[in-house]
Chain A
Amino acid sequence: MIGVELAKLFRRPRTYVIAALLCALPLTVAIFLATTRIPPPPGQGGAFLSAVLSNGALYPAAAMALVLPVFLPVSVAVLAGDAVAGEASAGTLRYLLIRPVSRSRLLVAKLISLVAFVLFAIVSVLVTSYLTGILLFGVSTSSAGVALPPDVTSLSGVTISPAGLALRLLGTVAYIVISMLGVAAIALFLSTVTDSSLGAAMGALAVLVTSQVLVTLDAAAAIRPYLPTRYWLAWVDFFRDPVLWRDIERGAGIQLVYLAVLLGAAWANFLTKDVAN
């Protein structure tokens, strides 16, 4: 069943369109930066952006910072919201279930295909933005290593080896996958509740937007640590020297709790649900 879900994911033009859109955003930004050479002031306009002008190898990290707050979660919410509801309204859900595919296995396969999508999207963005960075900004440092940007590390002059950079990027990917799984879990749960893909995606986005707003609201400080988007940007800490693990650990922990609770709810709901359309 997992193979079938992956085949469905990668045979769908939609998957590539979304990935292409995700790649297009950093590309557009890079073109503007490279032609004007006007860097955003440090600490503004997205992490790393001011640093990439001097070092294109950091551009993948900057690209992550660009797609993460809105673009990536929106696409994950759309796909996850469609996962069950889309099959239900297309009439294919009932034919899968009488194949038979057990409802639990179907849900697991859907989740795995969402992970595959997130990985595919992130890797696409990393690869295209790495190439963009190298081509448009060049690599400033020689084989000595990559200098971490001062606005992130607050320690200028620290350099890490290319292998170290790759390792930190790997950590970043893993952390973003976990964060996006939290989004996927919200939308997947809603997708088992309603038969409308759009409704499920909108519901998940509403949760995320609300969470984003509350994160910045001092009056909501009491619940801030438990908001799903609170630690989304904690992966930036992978680029500090030494790596600052505190927020990364908390963020991953919170996402895992959300994941467990929502998947449990999705599972309980789907297993007892009438498939009546």
Chain B
Amino acid sequence: MIITHDLTKRYGRTVAVDSVELEVREGDRYGLLGPNGSGKTTLVRMLLGLVFATRGEIEVLGRPVPKRIQEVLPSIGALVEGPGAYPHLSGRVNLTLFDAAGAGGRRKDRRQRVSDALERVGLAGIDRRPVRNYSLGMRQRLGLAGALLRQPQLLILDEPTNGLDPRGIREIRDLLDELNREGTTVFLSSHLLAEIDAFCTRVGVMDRGRLVLQEDLSSLRAPTGRVTVGSPTPERVVALLDGRVEHRDGEVLTVRHDDPGALNAELVAAGVTVTAIATERRTLEQVVLDATTTSSDRVEAAG
């Protein structure tokens, strides 16, 4: 769906995006994770033909971008760095104008399309108030409705949950989930790890313009070869599993072991009470911390 090769964008001396090799496959829920300023928005803008790359190639839906961007865009719905709307007009009029601006989409069905999109994002009941009076969350939903007008094959969403409350975030996640199950590929960016963790199946990590990691989340979350054990008598566990306990934190112990079932049987056979037992997996947070160097909004003194 999206492939980039050596994609680079410079603004003067800043390298906003640096030799990125992105690969988003059909049906993916791809999460682009990175702190503010790591180049996510710039990357998204290049994918949509808004910003022109300094170097490198982009292919979206099998066509070269920006050369054939006009053929690609009708199948894409996108949200780029916050929603944009005409503040003195109502949400419905805004969507109608945007719908009319694009090619395709029959005039006859326009009202219906706009209503459907508004309904999908939970704005079915909006009145004639101008967008000027909308909350940030409502604007974000309106932007999303704009992205859904043409039932896109590919959604490219830059920070889609900005400005939403926890319930709103959940609703949008459910909506994206539904769209993805209907066959829409979702590519979203976020600086919030939890958000990507909760929704995505594939993750790319940006760090100061570079894509430092790109993997399926399932393989990132591989077992670490350890098991965490909870027991009200941790010293007995330590005595029993002499040398295999790697870490102890109150009543929770980390044991080097591959099979929680076998370990449980061993502990119970020895008469140890086990309150919890689970395979330890790498967390996305740990993966990200390992892959990135330093927070990009830190400004260190030279020397």
**Cβ B48 vs Cβ A272 within 8 A:** no
Stretch in B71-79, B117-125, B222-230, B286-294 touching the partner: B71-79
Is B263 interfacial (CB-CB < 8 Å)? Answer: no
Q: Which residue of A lies closest to B69 (CB)?
A: A100
The answer to whether A100 touches B73 (Cβ under 8 A) is yes
Decide: B51 and A275 in contact? CB cutoff 8 A.
yes
State whether the Cβ of B88 lies closer than 8 Å to any Cβ in chain A: yes
Tell me whether B89 is interfacial, beta carbon within 8 Å. Answer: yes
Distance (whole angstroms) from the CB of A146 to the closest CB of chain B = 43
- Chain A residue nearest to B102 (CB atoms) is A99
C-alpha gap A3/B107 in the complex (Å): 12
Q: Which of A3, A101, A276 contacts B45 (CB 8 A)?
A: A276
Q: Which of A1, A12, A91, A93 is within 8 Å of B82, CB to CB?
A: A91
Determine the chain A residues whose CB is within 8 A of the CB of B11 once the complex forms. Answer: 276
- A127 interface residue, CB < 8 Å from B? no
In this complex, how many residues of chain B approach chain A with their Cβ under 8 Å: the count is 33
Q: Nearest-CB distance from A134 to chain B (Å)? A: 36
Taking a contact as CB atoms under 8 Å apart, the answer to whether B78 and A98 are in contact is: yes
Known interface pairs A94-B50, A95-B146, A275-B50. Does A101 touch B82 (Cβ–Cβ under 8 Å)?
no
Distance, CA A12 to CA B87, complexed state (A):
10
Contact A276 B98 (CB under 8 A): no
Distance in angstroms between the alpha carbons of A13 and B88 in the assembled complex = 9
Give the tally of cross-chain contacts (CB within 8 A): 77
Nearest-neighbour CB distance to chain B for A155, whole angstroms, equals 51
Q: Cβ of B52 < 8 Å from any Cβ of A?
A: yes
Q: Which residue of A lies closest to B99 (CB)?
A: A99
Q: Chain A 73-107 against B: per-residue CB contact (8 Å), 1 yes, 0 no?
A: 00000000000000000111111111111100000
- B100 near A95 with CB under 8 A, answer no
Is B76 touching A98 in the complex (CB atoms < 8 A)? Answer: yes
Query: Counting CB contacts under 8 A, is A260 at the interface?
Result: no
Task: Flag if A101 contacts B101 (CB, 8 Å).
Answer: yes
Report the separation of the CA atoms of residues A274 and B49 in the bound assembly, to the nearest whole angstrom.
Answer: 9
Closest to A12 in B: B88
In the assembled complex, the Cα of A12 lies from the Cα of B132 at a distance in Å of 13
Of A94, A101, A102, most buried by chain B (CB within 10 Å of CB) is A94
Checking A1, A95, A100, A276 against B51 with a beta-carbon cut-off of 8 angstroms, the contacting residue is A276
B34 at interface by CB-CB < 8 Å: no
Q: Is B93 an interface residue (CB 8 A)?
A: yes
How far in angstroms is the closest Cβ of chain B from A109?
Answer: 9
Complex CA gap A13/B39 in Å reads 38
Residues of A within 8 A of B48 (CB): 94, 97-98
Q: Which of A92, A97, A99, A101 has the most CB of B within 10 A?
A: A99
Q: Is there contact, CB below 8 Å, between A275 and B45? A: yes
Whether A97 and B83, one on each chain, are in contact in the complex, defined by CB atoms closer than 8 angstroms, is no
The 8 A CB mask of B33-51 against A (1 = contact, 0 = none) is 0000000001001001111
CA distance A100 to B103 in the complex (A): 7
Residues of A within 8 A of B56 (CB): none
Q: Report chain B residues within 8 Å CB of A99.
A: 73, 98, 101-103
Determine whether the beta carbon of B87 is less than 8 Å from that of A274.
no
Q: Closest residue to B93 on the A side, CB-wise?
A: A11
Q: List 8 extra interface pairs beyond A274-B50, A275-B50, CB under 8 A.
A: A90-B86, A92-B86, A94-B80, A95-B83, A97-B48, A98-B50, A99-B101, A276-B45
A–B pairs, 11, beta carbons within 8 Å: A8-B86, A12-B88, A90-B85, A94-B45, A95-B143, A97-B49, A98-B78, A99-B102, A274-B45, A275-B51, A276-B11
